[in-house]
Amino acid sequence: MTQLPSNPDAVRAAPCAGLRIGDPAPDFSARSTAGDIRLSDFRGRWLVLFSHPADFTPVCTTEFVALARAACDFARRDCALMALSVDSLFSHFAWLRMIRDRFDVEVRFPIVEDPTLVIGRAYGMVAPQDNDSGTVRTTFFIDPEGVVRAMTCYPANVGRSTPEMLRTLDALQAVDAGSVLAPANWEPGDDLLQQPSALLDDVFAAPGQTDWFLTQASPGKRK
C-alpha cells in the first residue's frame, strides 16, 4: 500500500500543482519490485526518481531497456534509480520478465506501484482531479539531502535521453563540488565557470569587459 507521511503539514508541502527546484522531495512508502520501499531510505546518495505512463507500452519499454543498461553508470556516480507508474506490482513483474526475455537485460532498480495516484499527485505528475490518468514522463533529480535539484517533463510520445540524464547528474555534482557554474552543453572534463563577482571594484578592475562575470574555472571531473 502506498503511503505518504501522516503529518498533514508534510502532505500540504507537496502541492498537486507540482514541486519546485529546491523543495524537499515528499517522502513516501510503497510496494515496489524490490520490496517495500521508502524514499527517505535513499538519503545520503543521489536519486533519480522518474515516472512512466504505463507498462507494456513502446516508448516506456525502450526507456527501461536503456536505463537498465546504463544502471552501472548511475551507480558509479553514487546515484540510485527509482521508477513509478500507476500500474500494479504484478503488472511491473510481468513487464520486467518480458523485457528480460526479449532484450536480454534485467531491470533491477525498483519500480513503485501507485494505483491510487497518491505519489503522482504529491509530485505533480498527474492533475489533482485525475482519477485514472497515467503519469507523464517526469524525472526528479534528488540530492543526498533529499532536495529536488532538477526536473524534466516529457510528453507520453517522446522518450527521455539517458545520456542527458547522466549529463545533468554530472553537472549537478560538479557545481556542488565548488562555487562554480556549468555552461551550456557542458560535459564532464569541460571548463566550468566561476561565480560572477558582486563587487563594483571587481567589475572596474577586470581586464576585459566580460571578465568580471564570464570567467572559466577549473575543468569538472570526468566520471
Active site residues: 60
How big is the chain, counted in residues? 223
Rg, the chain, Cα only: 20
Which residues lie closer than 8 Å to 90 by C-beta, 6 or more apart?
none
Where does 107-198 have alpha helices with state H?
Answer: 118-122, 162-176
Distance CA 56, CA 184 (A): 35
Cell of 170: 554530472
Residue 54 sits at the vertex; the CA angle it makes with 165 and 150, to the nearest 5 degrees, is: 25
Residue 82 near residue 112, CB atoms below 8 Å? yes
Q: How many helices (H) and strands (E) does the chain have?
A: 7, 10
